[in-house]
Amino acid sequence: MNADKNEGEIKFVSSQSPYKNADPSTEAGASEKQVVIDDLAAVFISSVARNRSITDEKVLSEFGQGLVFVGRKALKRSMIDEISTFEDVMTKVQKPESAPTTEDPTPGGGGPEIKITGELLRSDYSSLVEEFMTEGASAERARILELQEICAGRGVDLKAYIVGGVSAKDAALDILKNSRASTNSSLARLEQNEKELAGLSAHCPAEEDDWSAELETVKNAGWLNDDRI
């Protein structure tokens, strides 16, 4: 229990936590308060060092140890990224974010490079990976069903389209192209056959002429008057 006779205030502190409200006017109380303040300062220094991609030691040696640096002095010590106005900052904030690049976004390029792997995604973003896999499986099933419908009865290699990752649209265009090529080939063969048949007809004697010649031979031989015929 602490009592302040001048203020008429009496404070009660739990015996299990006597340092919870240590009196900073005493040596022991001041020591406890200083430990807390130093610990808070260490957290702040580490946060600044991490966000500026430098070491805690550099923050302690170059950032003034509590001093305030304005404008170019702060920029020269790498305490800030640039000197700007409130309006410029608000304009940048309101602009849509540009597409991410492969460059290191940290000042000076000193930040650690993070390699995105399947293992990392499955461990840290398992729900997102599961969602993507479900959507991918549904899309693949739909693609295969469309291919089966397009290829049915056309004598094409359905498996090759499936394994090759060909879309239903590309498969339809490929089938149409091959069908036209086959049709053109068939027409060419028919035209060639017609030419060959026409050539054969030109070299064959007329049947009517052959019959007339044979009839004339029979007449001359007198076979038409033969009772045996």
pLDDT of residue 87: 80
pLDDT of residue 41: 92
Q: What is the DSSP letter of 70?
A: -
- Of 10, 6, 8, 31, nearest to 19 by C-alpha is 31
The amino acid at 226: D
Compute the half-sphere exposure of residue 14: CA atoms within 13 Å on the CB side of its CA.
Answer: 3
Say if pTM beats, i.e. exceeds, 0.85. Answer: no
pLDDT of residue 217: 62
Residues forming beta bridges with residue 9, ordered by sequence position: 4
Residue 50, both tokens: 């991490």
In degrees and rounded to multiples of 5, residue 10 shows phi and psi of -120, 125
Give the relative orientation of helices 168-203 and 126-151 as an angle to the nearest 10 degrees. Answer: 20
- Of 29, 31, 50, nearest to 39 by C-alpha is 31
pLDDT of residue 86: 80
Sequential pLDDT tens for the chain (229 residues): 554 555 677 777 788 887 777 788 888 888 888 999 999 999 999 999 998 889 999 999 889 888 888 888 988 888 888 888 888 877 877 766 555 555 555 555 555 667 777 777 777 778 887 888 888 888 888 989 988 888 888 788 888 888 888 888 888 888 888 777 767 676 777 777 777 676 665 555 555 555 566 656 655 655 555 555 4
Residue 123, both tokens: 């461990």
Residues forming beta bridges with residue 11, ordered by sequence position: 2
